[in-house]
């Protein structure tokens, strides 16, 4: 696995609510909920995220089966699309809040971890120093 030496290190919380192999909610499903909310349909939300309709539909089905009340509602008539239920909006709001608080709470620990990583400018400075050294003949 390669990494880009020019970009500084980044950290993102990736919470998943799961039971066994079933993931009720995670970062990708939260992104799908937002896309469905923006576009008003599962297929348009899937397109926006670069995934197939079938994949999106399976993710929505898993979410709808996992929660007490389904986060996504669909119309019986195809052309009327899909939307987040009030529970779906609450689920998404709580999940995004969990992510945000994780970042805030983890800042001191993350700062300590970052001190142990090679910074991007150090790698760049080393390359520049190597280029400026006189070559042995």
Tens digits of residue pLDDT in 9-57: 788 889 999 999 999 999 999 999 999 999 999 999 999 999 999 999 9
Domain presence at residue 40: yes
CATH number of the domain within which 47 lies: 1.10.10.10
For the whole model, what pTM was predicted?
Answer: 0.77
Q: C-alpha 106: how far from its chain's center?
A: 17
Compute the distance between CA of residue 53 and CA of residue 125 in angstroms, rounded to an integer: 47
The CA distance from 5 to 3, in Å, is: 6
Within a domain: 10: no
* Residue 7 belongs to a domain: no
Q: Which token pair is 22?
A: 């079933």
Q: Which domain holds residue 99?
A: 24-132
In a domain, 31, yes or no: yes
Question: In the structure encoding, which two tokens stand for residue 104, read together?
Answer: 């805030």
> What's the structural domain count of the chain?
1
Q: Tell me how far apart the alpha carbons of residues 121 and 126 are, in angstroms, rounded to a whole number.
A: 8
Q: Residue 82 pairs with which residues in a beta bridge?
A: 74
Residue 116 maps to a domain: yes
Instruction: Identify whether 5 is part of a domain.
Output: no
């Amino acid at each position: 696995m390669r990494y880009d030496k020019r970009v500084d290190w980044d950290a993102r919380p990736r919470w998943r609510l799961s039971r066994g192999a079933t993931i009720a909610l995670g970062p990708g499903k939260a992104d799908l909920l937002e896309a469905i909310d923006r576009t008003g349909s599962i297929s348009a939300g899937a397109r926006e995220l670069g995934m197939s309709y079938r994949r999106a539909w399976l993710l929505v089905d898993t979410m709808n089966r996992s929660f007490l009340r389904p986060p996504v509602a669909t119309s019986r008539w195809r052309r009327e699309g899909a939307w987040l239920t009030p529970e779906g909006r609450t689920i998404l709001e709580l999940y995004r809040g969990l992510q945000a608080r994780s970042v805030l709470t983890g800042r001191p620990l993350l700062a300590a971890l970052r001190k142990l990583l090679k910074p991007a400018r150090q790698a760049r400075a080393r390359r520049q120093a190597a280029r400026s050294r006189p070559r042995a003949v």
